[in-house]
Structure 1
Amino acid sequence: MTRSISLLLISFCLFFFLTIYATANDKSSPYEEIYPEIGYKTVEAALEDFEQHFKQKLKLPLRVPPISFTHHFGRFNDLDGDINDSFEVTFINDQLPENHYKINVRPIKNNIPLREKYVVKTFELKNGSVATYMTISGFNVLVFERDDWQYMLSIDKRVSDKVTPETLIDIANSIDY
């Protein structure tokens, strides 16, 4: 459990570092080069890898936050065993580093336990399930479960005036199709 939380925090820190580094370093490689070097590919290709690995379809939200993005990438994290395997989609803006949003999905049986100290509020989704809104390492995160998956929708805190908890709830509810 602690390992899963550590991996999540490392993932957030790595993502944050890459975003800041690519923005601050004028001579850095464009995102089209940086992200594939660390395992990202098209969302569709990563989703296919994830679904084949778990032999189950995954529904993604139809909505995204109402901020601009210039790039989106997907990655299937296939680590030792299944316990830390996950799917992620990253949306970024190469001109506005605060505009980054991430979807992370893993099987419920290997979920990341929620720590009370990060919980801000809970909400009820359209389908009756509970969604937990938290703040973790510079991100606002909405965590919920559906169809055997744990979803984590993460948005940079710097855009919290534009992407509210209610916006994340609307995004979570857009999976009902």
Structure 2
Amino acid sequence: MLGSILMAGALLLGISPDHDQGINKLQDSYDQQIIFESGGELVEEAVRACEKHFGTAVNLPPKLPPVAFTHQYGRCYDMESGLDEHLEIHYLNRHKPDNDYKIELYPLENKQQLKHLSFQESELTDHTTAKFYKGPTNTLQLFVFEMGNWQYLLTAANGASSEIRQQELTEIAESLTQAVNSKDPAYATWGTLAVTEAKRKYNMDVVDYLYMGRTKISSELAEEKFKLWLKEGAREFGVYVTVAFHPTTHQFISIRFEEI
């Protein structure tokens, strides 16, 4: 774990915000090249590599922290890496160092003990035990829990302006437990999100719900579409809600509304 933190830090050296769009594009491309040359790869490729290496399915939390990221990459560490074997998914924003979030999955037989850290213990809604550690300012926050064959480590920066806190990490863990334990159809998670966000956007009740199907746009993008009917007093109307997500990692990308 420490080695991967150091690698991520090295990737960010010398990177600073620049407001010129052309330079930004060149810098982003250069950053991505450095990441891949350092062993990083596309998230879905890293997930597939670890599923093949460990011989078991990988489930990632559908929810991401509510902050912007400029880069994301993954890596499946095997014995040749010199680190404990695990999957790592890293999200970062080169303009905002505090927007830094990482997911690490270790097989339970090789889970990290982390006995040197002082954890605050809690329980998720499905009674899964979770542990939270918050280091000094400008270090890290760590949320740890186990599910299926994996130990999950969710790591976020602990900077003065960080918007990723214990609550956000807990909600991310809860999104995974709900997705894994749900007996509802695969689209149910996105349907719940569509209803919740529509109620928040329009401040109205959702009185009817229709699932309209999934569209796979590419290997990195799929969409679930829903038709909702909203009502508040004498006012009522319909709205199409389209939720975009990554079909392999099942992580949320965007949501859009189209009033009927």
TM-score range, shorter chain: 0.7 to 0.9
CA distance in 1 between counterparts of 2:100 and 2:7 reads: 13
Q: Percent identity?
A: 29
CA distance in 1 between counterparts of 2:112 and 2:126 reads: 21
- 1:71: Cα distance to partner? 1.3
Q: Give ranges in structure 1 of 5+ residues lacking alignment.
A: 1-7
The correspondence of residues 4-153 of structure 1 with structure 2, limited to 5 A, is 8-23=1-16, 30-80=30-80, 84-115=84-115, 117-135=116-134, 138-153=139-154
Please identify, of 39-48 and 14-23, the stretch whose mean Cα deviation from structure 2 is larger.
Answer: 14-23
CA distance in 2 between counterparts of 1:119 and 1:63 reads: 26
- 1:119: Cα distance to partner? 2.2
CA distance in 1 between counterparts of 2:165 and 2:125 reads: 17
CA pair 126-42 structure 1, distance change in 2 beyond 3 A: same
CA distance in 2 between counterparts of 1:54 and 1:31 reads: 30
Contact 2:88 2:104 in 1 (8 A): yes
CA pair 95-160 structure 1, distance change in 2 beyond 3 A: closer
Contact 2:122 2:130 in 1 (8 A): yes
How many pairs does the alignment contain?
169
CA distance in 1 between counterparts of 2:112 and 2:85 reads: 11
What is the CA deviation profile of residues 81-101 of structure 1, one whole-angstrom value per residue up to 9, with x for unaligned ones? 9x8111010001121122110
Query: Which residue matches 2:208?
Result: none
CA pair 34-102 structure 1, distance change in 2 beyond 3 A: same
Contact 1:23 1:97 in 2 (8 A): no
- 1:32: Cα distance to partner? 1.1
How big is the alpha-carbon RMSD for the aligned residues of Structure 1 and Structure 2?
Answer: 2.6
CA distance in 1 between counterparts of 2:156 and 2:51 reads: 24
- 1:114: Cα distance to partner? 2.3
Query: Which residue matches 2:175?
Result: 174
Contact 1:43 1:74 in 2 (8 A): yes
What is the CA deviation profile of residues 105-148 of structure 1, one whole-angstrom value per residue up to 9, with x for unaligned ones? 01011001022x52241111122111111135811010111101
CA pair 32-171 structure 1, distance change in 2 beyond 3 A: same
Contact 1:119 1:134 in 2 (8 A): yes
Instruction: Select the structure with the greater relative contact order (CA < 8 A; seq sep ≥ 6).
Output: 1
Contact 1:99 1:159 in 2 (8 A): no
Q: Give ranges in structure 2 of 5+ residues lacking alignment.
A: 18-22, 180-260
Report the secondary structure of 2:79's partner residue.
Answer: coil
CA distance in 2 between counterparts of 1:21 and 1:145 reads: 36
Q: Could you tell me which amino acid in structure 1 is paired with residue 38 of structure 2?
A: I
Contact 2:98 2:162 in 1 (8 A): no
Query: Which residue matches 1:163?
Result: 164
